[in-house]
Amino acid sequence: MNFPIQQGLFKYDITDHYAILGLPLNADSKQIRKRYLMVARCLHPDTCKDKTEQGKKLANKLLSKLVNPAYELLSKEESRREYLLVLFQMGQNLAAELSTITLASDKAQQLFQATQNLDLVYYKLVNSLVTDEYSDLLQVLSKIAQLSELNLVYLMVKQGQQVSAQPKPQIKTPPQQPIKESEKTAPPVSAVDNSIRRAKEYLERRNTSQAIIELREALKIEPNNCTCHGLLGLAYLQEKQPTMAKIHINKAWKVNPNNPVAIKAKEALDKVLKPDTATPSKGTDKSTGGGLFGSLFGKKK
């Protein structure tokens, strides 16, 4: 993306679209559109207040590389819901590291201390940053970084509170009769495994929309399933949605970088993001029986 942001969610290879637009994590469709129009007006060549050549170039780069992609994802309810799911899953995974996290901004430190009034303080701090987020183009990346750090702390603290508040159920296990050798059966195939199997079949047939539905349902059951995230990333690449693909492929890579699907998905993503390094031969899609998926599942004979 060529923007050196190393704080908040960006530190974990997740583009913080909420921070880019200057929105809290609970923003609805109307708020997202209203904020986007305001930011776009600040950066558009016809209305940008910075009339210098350097300023116009920076404004155009911010608009095309950050703001427009952020709005593209957040304006669609389905992709926004899925993106939020990934964010909250990450917050839950990182909640245990909250005591050791290093925070760069004073506002993030303030939010970290506000566990009793977390939501109230979070919205107040976000609003204090977004009022002039794009007024000085040279400070935009700094503001985005601070907002993303607020989002990261909020997610970690919020998810940590929810986990600690959940009571551990006491389950009384009834005495079991010993099972005869003849009665032993193979363990049943899980619903997630079935969804993965069906998703692979859909992907082989290039029915990516149905595969995405299957994998989304599977992730509701196992949010950290590496294979699901990897396959979902590949499906989004096929649908030409690199932003969503990157989110899920990075998630798969973090869960298990040795997973074959995660490895294949990462390679496919790198080829899309860095086409210069890829040297695909002509007619690859036809010869492999499905492009990305032909090399992953093997060609059926």
Residue 167 scores a pLDDT above 50: no
> Which single residue is written with the structure tokens 């609805």?
28
CA–CA distance, 252 with 97 (Å, rounded to integer)? 20
Q: What is the pLDDT of residues 51-87, one digit of tens each?
A: 888 999 999 999 999 999 999 999 999 889 989 988 9
Distance from first CA to last CA of the chain, Å, rounded? 41
SS (H, E, C) the chain: CCCCCCCHHHHHCCCCHHHHHCCCCCCCHHHHHHHHHHHHHHHCCCCCCCCCHHHHHHHHHHHHHHHHHHHHHHCCHHHHHHHHHHHHHHHHHHHHHHHHCCCCCHHHHHHHHCCCCHHHHHHHHHHHHHCCCCCCHHHHHHHHHHHHHHHHHHHHHHHHHHHHHCCCCCCCCCCCCCCCHHHCCCCCCCHHHHHHHHHHHHHHCCCHHHHHHHHHHHHHHCCCCHHHHHHHHHHHHHCCCHHHHHHHHHHHHHHCCCCHHHHHHHHHHHHHHCHHHCCCCCCHHHHHCCCHHHHHHCCCC
Nearest one of 92, 90, 70, 89 to 79, comparing CA atoms: 70
CATH of domain 191-291: 1.25.40.10
Q: What is the distance between the alpha carbons of residues 49 and 57, in angstroms, rounded to a whole number?
A: 13
Given a cut of 80, is residue 160 above it in pLDDT? no
* pLDDT bracket for residue 250 (50, 70, 90): confident
pLDDT band at 294 (very low <50, low <70, confident <90, very high): low
Q: What angle (nearest 5°) sits at the alpha carbon of residue 161, between those of residues 220 and 192?
A: 15
Q: 234: pLDDT confidence band, cut at 50, 70 and 90?
A: very high
Residue 50 clears pLDDT 90, i.e. is over it: no
Q: What is the pTM of this model?
A: 0.69
Angle between helix axes 242-255 and 260-273 (nearest 10 degrees) is 140
Q: pLDDT by residue (tens digit) across 176-226? A: 555 455 444 545 568 889 999 999 999 998 898 888 888 988 888 888 899
Decide: 221 and 192 in contact? Cβ < 8 Å.
Answer: yes
Question: Which one is predicted more confidently, 167 or 292?
Answer: 292
* pLDDT tens-digit series, residues 22-42: 999 999 999 999 999 999 999
Most confident of 95-109, 186-200, 284-298: 95-109
- Contacts by 42-45, CB closer than 8 A, 24 or more apart: 42/134, 42/135, 43/67, 43/134
Give me the pLDDT at residue 101, please: 82
- pLDDT, the chain, mean: 83
Residue 274 scores a pLDDT above 70: yes
Question: What six digits make up the tokens of 196?
Answer: 């993965």
Of the two residues 167 and 136, the one the predictor is more confident about is: 136
Residue partners of 68: CB distance under 8 A and separation at least 6: 40
- Per-residue pLDDT, 295: 54
Q: Where are the domains of the chain?
A: 8-163, 191-291
C-alpha distances in Å from residue 151, one per residue of 14, 28, 129, 194, 299:
12, 16, 12, 35, 44
Residues 98, 163: Cα–Cα separation, whole Å: 13
For 43-57, what is the mean pLDDT? 89
Within 8 A by CB and 6+ apart from 200, the residues are 211, 231, 293, 297
Rounded Cα distance, 200 and 297, in Å = 8
CATH for 8-163 is 1.10.287.110
